Structure 1
Amino acid sequence: MTPAATATAVESVEDFAARASSWYADHGFARRDPQREASSTGMAVFHDLAFDEELALIRQLTDWLRARYDAGLGAVGWPEAFGGAGLAHAHEAALARVESGFDVPTPHELVSVTLRLIAPTLRVYDRTPEMRELITPMLRGDLLACQLFSEPGAGSDLASLATRARRDGDDWVITGQKVWTSGAQFAQWGELLARTDPDVPKHRGITAFMVPLDAEGVEVRPLRQMSGGSSFNEVFLTEVRIPDAYRVGEVGEGWKVALTTLGFERDSSGEATAVGGTLDQVVELSRATGAVEDPVLRQMLADVVIAHRLAEIATARDAATPDTTGVGGSMRKLQWTGRLAQISEYVGEVLEADLVVDDGESGTFDWTEHVLGAPGYRIAGGSDEVQRNLIAERWLGLPAEPRGDKTTPWRDIPR
């Protein structure tokens, strides 16, 4: 059954919420128990799973997305022309409230990137039928896509990327290397940025493409993280040929496309508040270890609690007043990475040697996964330094940093 067959634009928010709640209950989803969730949520910031285990997690999640979509509860705010239900933002908010009361499958970054970043980007740059046909399978969970942005030689200066794409008739031929690509080993497509004109300044010579990862010349190599997992990958592209129909946006406007995707990423970054453990788990640790009786540790814990409460207030305010500055996501992301760092510092002070020695005691050494993973989100989705520059320039109106390469052709920039 299609979304349009089960939901209409005139359905009231109350009726929609009731229908959603009934659907979850009728399909065997248990009511969420906050106490049980607090003790069962893992502390890992990035997945630390074997390949088969991570694949099983993704399949469970996409099976749920498919069932939800077919019931008219997926892509609620998307227009019907793009495979959505065509309902209002209030319906999306109502669905989120309903879902928060049920035990739904564990999120995965690749699925979030597909739904919240790449599918919306393709909607904005609705250029060809071939690209439009990817959107509904993404919304339904049938197709997953990763970001092919970061490169070994570019660092946080994404615009200096060196992967090249040259025009060959109606095709493009792409050669280069991407890195830190989350979920590439499970994805079918990737949104890729490549340099198509080296003779203009770096921001102007980039073009965006969608690349099928089963194309000849694409090689995905998982990277082992210090926490043990392999969430990230290197992706090598050697003379990969794709049609011009797979281009996203205009030639030379890839930076504009990238900013669109990164804007969606920053807007959603602060939503993953349970990544790396929950506030309840931090409090539980404090009570179990007696840290709440120590005046110094108690003050540190109070700072952690205050930061989380302020985040809840900010989230509610954002929902009531949409951001018009373009930097709201940057501010929320900085606040989120700050909270992750606060937790790392606190659990390190509480656990001391128990953080690095696994003596079998539950809820102690497990926090190592948080401490090892948290610094990664200071880089993912744009480094903290980049976020601060955006806030300074776009929110505070401060002058931009001097950039000697702003007008220099990319080919002439020392590397």
Structure 2
Amino acid sequence: MNGADDIPSRESFAADAEAWLERNATRRPPRAELEWGVGSDGVSVFRNTSPEAEAALVEEAVAWQRTKFDAGYGAIGWPAEFGGAGLPRSYEAAFRALERGFVLPHAPEIIGISLEIEAPTILELGSQEQKERWLRPLRRMDVICCQLFSEPGAGSDLGAISLRADREGDGWVLNGQKVWTSGAQFADLGWVIARTDPQADRTKALTAFVVPMDTPGVTVRPLRQMSGGTNFNEVFFDDVHVADEDRVGPVGAGWSAMMTTLGFERASSEGSGGGPNFVGRLLMTAKHFGRLDDPLVRQAIANVHARNRMRSWTAQRAAAGARAAGGVPGPEGSAVKLAMTGFLREVSEAATMLLGPSLAVDTGEWGTFAWSELVCGFPGTRIGGGTDEIQKNTIAERVLGLPREPKAARS
């Protein structure tokens, strides 16, 4: 970590960073005014890309992260011993704000999962040897790590995880299945939670592992979503041998490890849902169909605008609090995720009201059927990272201090 005397002023850091971005990227042009029939009409939540196109996106994003890392901007708030710059987290936020002014490669979900969720989890929970082995490669993206929590029979009830890890000699043997794993086909490592004690309470029954994805017995199979994309996967573990040195934390501490990971996952929702200019696109669509004077349409678009502002303010407030507090993000991430899903719900409902049958039938007309990808994909945002209901429970219990539900009602 840099000493206080080694830390540049925020202004000096920002000036150097902006000059570096000018040399290595292209300034983003001013957002053009939306015009019906001009440009792409894509507004999907989950991309509908071919496997080849998805792989190309990952390759471009990895190359950009390596360029940043080698220049000292790929791990700004991280300890120097793990390849970071050792600067305050506020400097990282300043760099990201500058980055938004430049045209950068699109980062598929696995990039953020590896960089912003799994790497911080290992920094928080890993042994010194594990940190030295994994963190620098993760931050430079020499390796990519996916997240293996959800299972076909568990859904959002992570306490029901059934993938088994049984002791064998000086290691473990894993058997079971995970599902809805973003980017598993591109991952070198997997952050896996497995059941190591079938009888214990969920808070003591699970254990965390980092598993190389090329280990014999690991099989990745892409899943096609109803929106068309294949970025989700199911992953099978058939007699997968894992060394005990790849276990993260004590045996039975997997529940706590999951909560740490989910804290980082919810915090990473900052800015999520911004995406395309949804308000502008809805206004353009209403104008094209002659419905700008319809009071129901006007109210629906106003609701989208209000939700978007609330989402942005909530994310900014949560991010500022997290930077000030440091450590593992708290339950404020649940509020950010609820704000994001509430915003996308309003967008979906407004588009459905405007387009009616044009949303369900592809007539080839620009700006109509394309919205179906958002409407079909939106429900998935209410599930990923914990359902909306789980987020509400988290806020109720950990923020408002309300009592937990009676056990009889939590079946």
Change (3 A) 1:141 1:369: same
User: Which one of the candidate residues 19, 24, 28 is aligned to 2:21?
Assistant: 24
Matched residue, 2:394: 390
Structure 2 residues without counterparts, runs of 5 or longer: none
Matched residue, 2:352: 348
User: How far off its partner does 1:78 sit?
Assistant: 0.6
Quick check: 203-212 or 14-23, which moved more? Answer: 14-23
Q: How does 1:226-245 map to 2 (within 5 A)?
A: 226-245=226-245
Secondary structure at 1:222 match in 2:
strand
Q: What RMSD over aligned residues (CA atoms) do the two structures have, in Å?
A: 2.3
**TM-score when normalising by structure 1:** 0.91
**TM-score when normalising by structure 2:** 0.92
Q: Could you tell me which amino acid in structure 1 is paired with residue 173 of structure 2? A: V
Matched residue, 2:144: 144
Structure 1 residues without counterparts, runs of 5 or longer: 407-412
Matched residue, 2:265: 265
Matched residue, 2:8: 11
Secondary structure at 2:219 match in 1:
strand
Whether the aligned pair in 1 keeps the contact of 2:267 and 2:319 (CA below 8 Å) is no
Secondary structure at 2:165 match in 1:
strand
Give me the whole-angstrom Cα distance separating, in 2, the residues matched to 1:65 and 1:82: 15
Whether the aligned pair in 2 keeps the contact of 1:265 and 1:381 (CA below 8 Å) is yes
Matched residue, 2:87: 87
Change (3 A) 1:276 1:45: farther
User: How far off its partner does 1:169 sit?
Assistant: 2.1
Change (3 A) 1:67 1:176: same
Q: How does 1:306-325 map to 2 (within 5 A)?
A: 306-322=306-322
Secondary structure at 2:309 match in 1:
helix
Secondary structure at 1:220 match in 2:
strand
* Count of residues paired in the alignment: 402
Secondary structure at 2:220 match in 1:
strand
Change (3 A) 1:37 1:62: farther
Give me the whole-angstrom Cα distance separating, in 2, the residues matched to 1:28 and 1:389: 43
Matched residue, 1:192: 192
Query: Does residue 66 of structure 1 match 2:66?
Result: yes
Matched residue, 1:101: 101
Q: Could you tell me which amino acid in structure 1 is paired with residue 356 of structure 2? A: E
Give me the whole-angstrom Cα distance separating, in 2, the residues matched to 1:294 and 1:177: 50
Matched residue, 1:410: none
Secondary structure at 1:190 match in 2:
strand
Q: How does 1:117-128 map to 2 (within 5 A)?
A: 117-128=117-128
Whether the aligned pair in 2 keeps the contact of 1:277 and 1:370 (CA below 8 Å) is no
Quick check: 35-44 or 336-345, which moved more? Answer: 35-44
Change (3 A) 1:9 1:289: farther
Whether the aligned pair in 2 keeps the contact of 1:131 and 1:245 (CA below 8 Å) is no
Secondary structure at 2:72 match in 1:
coil
Matched residue, 2:211: 211
Matched residue, 1:409: none
Q: Could you tell me which amino acid in structure 2 is paired with residue 33 of structure 1? A: P
Secondary structure at 1:293 match in 2:
coil
